Amino acid sequence: MNRRDEHKRTDGGSRFRFRSGHRRSARPGSGATGGPRPSPLPHVASMTWRDGAFIHWPVDPDVIRSRVPAPLEVDTYDGQAWLSVLPFVLARAGIRGAPSFTRVTTPELNVRTYVRYRGDPGLFFFSVDLGNQFVAEAVGRLTRLPCHHAMMHVGGDDERVAFSSSRTPDVESDARFSATYRPDGEVFYAEPDSLAHWLTARRRFYAPHGRGMLTAEIGHAPWPLQPVELTVHENTMFAANGLPEPEPDDEPVAYYCGELSMTGSIPRQIRRGRP
């Protein structure tokens, strides 16, 4: 997959420098993304992604199939499913057109995989950790996503981001993540059917709710991705979600994105048996 220039151990973590792999196309039958059906959902929220990384590990789809609720289907690229961890800063989140004093900025950490629902590609989130308790509770109620409040810190210098997250002590789950990363190359835009596009371009999530499925989506310009130099110091997020942990020598596919403005839709209930 042309995923790596070099790989070495350092500072108790795993340090990687990656090629983007954005020119690689899926073979026929590999599950190339394709867009979801057009959605009538109004986009009422706006926000900005800042200082974030996409970190992805391949996994046998059979291993995670039981963790993805029906009727969602695990999606694959060249026969592999993928688990992803996304640390970033959710900046200036709020209602579109609302004044700045009503907006919220907080670190966020997502654990997700890639699914299809009635043939449409989307995302399934195992967990969404947020550094603001009010935001975590509000987003969880609105979207039915598994949101958690966590103690988070984002720092760094010279374009290097230091990101750490640990669930609040009153939660039994031992969910921790710590990494440092920085951009390490020119901006590129993922080509359709490439692995980079498949891993980053999905804009719709699905969450089981009652007897149906809740869905919402984000809208934005294409991701301005960059290769990334990444050190993962600690990652217990997979174990905390009952997912298989990568082997020590498993190399993730990773990208950096410094900033991207986006909008968010109102969640919509999809009844089973209805389009």
pLDDT of residue 42: 87
Query: Can you give the length of the chain in residues?
Result: 275
Query: pLDDT tens digit string along 113-156?
Result: 999 998 999 999 999 999 999 999 999 999 999 999 999 999 98
- Whether pTM > 0.75 for this model: the answer is yes
Instruction: Count Cβ atoms within 10 A of the Cβ of residue 275 and give its class: 0-12 exposed, 13-18 middle, 19 or more buried.
Output: exposed
Candidates 103, 106, 102, 84; CA nearest to 93 is: 103
Sign of the torsion formed by the C-alpha atoms of 271, 273, 274 and 275: positive
Q: How far is the C-alpha of 118 from the C-alpha of 168, rounded, in Å?
A: 37
> Which parts of the chain have pLDDT scores under 70?
1-40, 170-173, 272-275
| Percent of the chain surpassing pLDDT 90 | 71
| Whether 101 contacts 61, CB under 8 Å | no
